[in-house]
């Protein structure tokens, strides 16, 4: 295990993108990535919100010691976030290895002992330690593959749980800091690219339908974040009263395939009935990305969304989905600065972002 602390995200190679944005796997035209996470707490230790520094340190040590039990997940990296730099934490957030809350870049509790453990090279596994719960374990992969994510995470859960008893109630199941996670502690989600549903105005219908069956529709960075670049996370909200297999089957086999088909049908409709308008929007976005000298993060993502639609629809040739997905990550401030090799202020980032995008798309 690589135990270096704050060294550029602990071996992360920013230029290469992240495997979960590889544009591969089932339904990758619509589904960027699938994600499964489990919330767990160590039995007999106060929850993070109540824990003092000593208890937090104890949790870190306990998890870190058990990480040697994990097999077949690649090389593991441990990073103590309370000892890491802001820019390293930004990188980790942008790669979705930790949450914004766990990063606490500007919070009063930036010194609270907390860590992240993740696997290289493919980053399919990560465990946030001392986030809202003692352990927030997640597995993320490219395409629609909640089943594979679940298998990975289930094995991790078994391996750690066997050595480190989790807080569990026979009546409620796994106990968690927030009641919405009690039971399975499970959340499954997929990151979807839904530009056509936005353009045809049908996205609101999808959102309402999702809410009706207790699914949440959120933005690129999860809870509380705005949808930018037409990227949406759809996830289950119910963790109690259903088995993991039921939740998996419902999302992976029923609901997500239906949303995928809905988006595809909206794309077909746009391309047959509003081709010139769509071509115009796609190529204007492409032209702006190819020529702009100043680009903000959000505008870049909005433009990349249209270019991604153009690439998937075959309107733009010579670029892969993987490249456009990767650019969605590279335009984020942390990755941008890592690529550029130094800290940049906001104006400098706009220049650097435009330059990197031009180079990549040329």
The verdict on 336 binding a copy of itself (CB under 8 A) reads no
CA distances to 43, 48, 183, 345 from 169, in Å: 10, 18, 9, 50
355 touches a copy of itself by CB under 8 A: no
Among the listed residues 287, 298, 320, 343, the single contact to a copy of itself using CB under 8 A = 287
- Which residues make Cβ contacts (< 8 Å) with residue 136, sequence separation at least 6? 37, 38, 39, 40, 99, 102, 127, 128
What is the contact mask toward a copy of itself in residues 226 to 265, using x (rule: CB under 8 A)?
----------------------------------------
| Sheet arrangement for strand 125-129 | 75-80, 115-120, 125-129, 135-142, 31-40, 186-193, 231-236, 215-218
DSSP H helical segments within 74-119, as ranges?
A: 86-94, 100-103
Please state the closest distance from residue 207 (CB atom) to a copy of itself, in A: 30
283 binds a copy of itself (CB under 8 A): yes
* Contact window for a copy of itself (CB under 8 A) among 19-27, 112-120, 266-274, 283-291: 283-291
Q: Does 199 bind a copy of itself (CB under 8 A)?
A: no
Size of the site for a copy of itself (CB under 8 A): 18
The length of the chain in residues reads 362
Closest to a copy of itself by CB, 182 vs 290, is: 290
**Interface region with a copy of itself, contact rule CB under 8 A, candidates 65-73, 160-168, 275-283, 327-335:** 275-283
199 exposed, middle or buried (CB, 10 Å; 0-12, 13-18, 19+)? Answer: buried
Query: DSSP secondary-structure letter at 104?
Result: -
Q: Interface with a copy of itself includes 362 (CB under 8 A)?
A: no
Binding mask 293-312 for a copy of itself (x = CB under 8 A): xx------------------
Least separation in angstroms between residue 53's CB and a copy of itself is 47
Q: 124 — alpha (psi -120 to 50), left (phi > 0) or beta?
A: alpha
Residues that bind a copy of itself (CB under 8 A): 276-277, 279-280, 283-284, 286-294, 347, 351, 354
């Amino acid at each position: 295990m690589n135990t270096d602390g704050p060294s550029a995200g602990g071996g992360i190679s920013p230029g290469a993108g992240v495997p979960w944005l590889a544009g591969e796997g089932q339904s990758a035209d619509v589904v960027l990535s699938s994600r499964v996470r489990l919330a767990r707490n160590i039995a007999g230790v106060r929850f993070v919100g109540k824990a003092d520094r000593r208890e937090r340190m104890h949790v870190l040590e306990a998890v870190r010691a058990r990480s040697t039990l994990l097999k077949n997940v690649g090389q593991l990296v441990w990073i103590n976030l309370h000892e890491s730099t802001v820019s390293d934490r930004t990188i980790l957030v942008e790669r979705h290895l930790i949450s914004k809350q766990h990063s606490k870049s500007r919070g009063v509790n930036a010194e609270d002992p907390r860590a992240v453990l993740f696997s290289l090279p493919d980053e399919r596994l990560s465990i946030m330690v001392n986030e809202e719960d003692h352990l927030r374990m997640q597995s993320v992969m490219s395409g629609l593959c909640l089943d594979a994510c679940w298998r990975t995470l289930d094995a991790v859960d078994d391996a750690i749980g066997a050595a480190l008893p989790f807080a569990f109630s026979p009546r409620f199941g796994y106990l968690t800091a927030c009641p919405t996670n009690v039971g399975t502690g499970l959340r499954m989600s997929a990151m979807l690219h839904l530009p056509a549903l936005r353009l045809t105005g049908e996205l609101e219908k999808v959102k309402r339908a999702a809410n009706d069956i207790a699914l949440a529709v959120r933005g690129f960075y999860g809870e509380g974040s705005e949808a930018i670049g037409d990227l949406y996370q759809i996830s289950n909200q119910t963790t109690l009263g259903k088995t993991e297999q039921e939740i998996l089957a419902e999302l992976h086999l029923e609901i997500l395939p239906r949303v995928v088909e809905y988006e595809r049908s909206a794309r077909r409709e746009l391309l047959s009935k509003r081709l010139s308008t769509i071509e115009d929007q796609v190529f204007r976005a492409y032209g702006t990305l190819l020529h702009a000298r100043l680009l903000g993060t959000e505008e870049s993502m909005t433009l990349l969304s249209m270019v991604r639609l153009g690439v998937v629809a075959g309107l733009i040739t010579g670029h892969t989905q993987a490249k456009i997905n990767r650019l969605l990550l590279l335009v984020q401030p942390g990755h941008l600065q890592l690529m550029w090799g130094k800290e940049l202020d906001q104006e400098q980032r706009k220049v650097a972002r435009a330059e990197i995008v031009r180079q990549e798309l040329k």
